Structure 1
């Protein structure tokens, strides 16, 4: 196998949750350019179809799958529909996520649960259904999107920190259980990225200066800078890599 073929995703189908914008959209585009057929996901049907149409216009093979990743019945129904159509998910990217910034003493149980369900429980639900199909085939790739907070905590984002810390160990658990069946489960820990979810932070001069000063690269990351690592973890190049979390953070987590 040539080096180029190691990263070729041709003939593979990838389901990327939360892929109508931001990091998920960038990963979907990268996978499509590497040859994968795409299943893009969002909760809003119109926005999901619009994103799929834009990717199709770029010459990629795409289908839209609008569903709530926290709804067990909806997740099961999507996989059942794919089964009925003969579509096998070879690559799953658990990217869907939300943020909620509030001191923990003021945090409601409902907001706590919403963040945990969206960022962590969804990865369990999607991962479980994907693995049920990957195990009989003897192969599959799962890429979970973690965070700097998979390793370190920051005030006012406790539910997110707990969820992303859970993603790190969920990834290891997936590797432990499913590795013997030819499945590799790994995670990516993005640093501070220029996404819609971070607009409140990027527009705050004090926080913007803190990120740039704290990061050896001296800047925020761009969504497309996650693509190389994502393609690597979804491809044959990572067939002996399992249970790992790779930080793509400009070096932030490595320095004091």
Structure 2
């Protein structure tokens, strides 16, 4: 391309480079904090968003996305209930008309407590939500995305998966497992053109 032709080529905006027009996403934990920010970012790129949250009476994020002229749906889901976790992706597919291109697994929980005082029930409650439920939702996504040979999955891990943290043993262990699970799914599903990645935030000023 000569210099004149290059000068006449219209500049492409950053948002156009990352346009998600026509795409549909499922976001867990999208009612607040990091999940809400990710839901907004998807919507800003033109992506329709289905937000799975425990309390569907809180419509703040969905309403704000709709105000941008982007479709937003709410699904009630308690990810501490494995039956609900298992059924989430199929339910989201039904709500979104049979198409979900992107899965964001952001829902999570933690107990800050000295490790010697952590009860088995507290341990299980953290690992169930942060790891087991996340896997079940990924599994549902895989069953949809593999035949389509297309899909993006982003799991929210944590810096604690690398540094361990303090008085958050169950949380650090579950997030470390999320990081390794992400690698395993990425290796397994890459052949189907499904990209599975994780991000590992540090401390963020959220309610949790």
Q: CA deviation at 1:178?
A: 0.8
Structure-2 residue corresponding to 1:32: 43
Structure-1 residue corresponding to 2:79: 69
Across the aligned residues of Structure 1 and Structure 2, the Cα RMSD in angstroms comes to 1.9
Distance 1:147 1:36 in 2: 25
Q: CA separation of 1:194/1:168 partners in 2, compared to 1, >3 Å: closer, same or farther?
A: same
Structure-2 residue corresponding to 1:11: 22
Distance 1:82 1:119 in 2: 19
Distance 1:141 1:150 in 2: 22
- Which residue of 29, 36, 54 maps to 2:64? 54
Superposed CA offset, 1:132-168 (max 9, x none): 0000000100000011111111221000000110111
Return the TM-score normalized by structure 2.
0.87
Distance 1:84 1:16 in 2: 15
Q: CA separation of 1:114/1:61 partners in 2, compared to 1, >3 Å: closer, same or farther?
A: same
Q: CA deviation at 1:75?
A: 3.1
Superposed CA offset, 1:109-144 (max 9, x none): 011111111111121011000110000000100000
Return the TM-score normalized by structure 1.
0.72
Aligned length: 196
- Range with greater deviation from structure 2 (139-148 or 55-64): 55-64
Distance 1:14 1:175 in 2: 19
Give the alignment of 1:103-252 within 5 angstroms: 103-197=114-208
Distance 1:78 1:153 in 2: 30
Distance 1:55 1:160 in 2: 30
- Greater C-alpha Rg: 2
Q: CA deviation at 1:57?
A: 2.3
Distance 1:43 1:4 in 2: 31
